[in-house]
Homo-oligomer: A and B are copies of this chain.
């Protein structure tokens, strides 16, 4: 039985979401894993948009419960940080003690992106912490995201892949995604299917 990997990331919002998810699924299979993608199951209608949203939440949690691990696409989305849905899902899978992997298609780390958010106006405060003009401190741990996400993966021995994708391939470039698959394959001694 191949291990099942839940493929978390903001590509569900893309205009060609199905195409990208299919490409990720095919690549996942080529490394001997079984992919589980949000959007794989068609969700029956609900009386309100709100109730429909709750149904999607239930289905996606069910997929995570059925999965053996997750590859989380933490590429910043609509701002300087990872999609919060993906962050939630990574935390969910870390708590279940499952296989975890993460990648980003932006090479600037969390600190660099946050400093950019402040247009570089970052100063060391009296308490020794780097702070923006609003007084808020910046995490400076050479991590791709907030320490709970990066640390949650790294402390579990999971791969963290970083790739500097072209701007028009930010959510479609699968280089770093494939690095995660390679690392997880090595880690779990998963065999490629004989047909590939």
Q: Which of A46-89 contact B (CB under 8 A)?
A: 48-50, 52-54, 56-58, 60-61, 64, 78-85, 87-89
Q: Does B78 lie within 8 Å of A117, measured CB to CB?
A: yes
A residues adjacent to B (C-beta < 8 A): 10, 13-15, 17, 48-50, 52-54, 56-58, 60-61, 64, 78-85, 87-96, 114, 117, 125, 131, 135-143, 145-152, 154-155
Q: Which residues of B are found within 8 Å of A90, using beta-carbon distances?
A: 88, 91
Given contacts A95-B91, A131-B15, A135-B15, whether A142 and B50 have CB atoms under 8 Å apart is yes
Q: Which residues of B are found within 8 Å of A50, using beta-carbon distances?
A: 141-143
Given contacts A78-B80, A146-B84, whether A52 and B92 have CB atoms under 8 Å apart is no
Q: Which residues of B are found within 8 Å of A15, using beta-carbon distances?
A: 125, 131, 135-137
Complex Cα–Cα for A15 and B10 (A): 32
Complex Cα–Cα for A79 and B117 (A): 9
Cβ contact of A147, chosen from B17, B54, B81, cutoff 8 A: B54
Q: Does B58 lie within 8 Å of A88, measured CB to CB?
A: no
Given contacts A15-B135, A89-B91, A92-B92, whether A151 and B49 have CB atoms under 8 Å apart is no
Minimum-distance CB pairs A-B, first 9: A57-B151, A53-B141, A91-B91, A79-B79, A88-B91, A85-B146, A95-B95, A87-B87, A15-B135
Q: Which residues of B are found within 8 Å of A58, using beta-carbon distances?
A: 151, 155
Complex Cα–Cα for A85 and B88 (A): 9
> Can you name 25 A-B residue pairings with CB atoms under 8 Å?
A13-B138, A14-B136, A15-B131, A17-B137, A53-B151, A54-B155, A57-B147, A57-B148, A57-B150, A78-B79, A78-B81, A78-B136, A79-B80, A79-B81, A81-B83, A82-B84, A84-B146, A84-B148, A87-B88, A87-B91, A88-B88, A88-B90, A89-B148, A91-B95, A95-B95
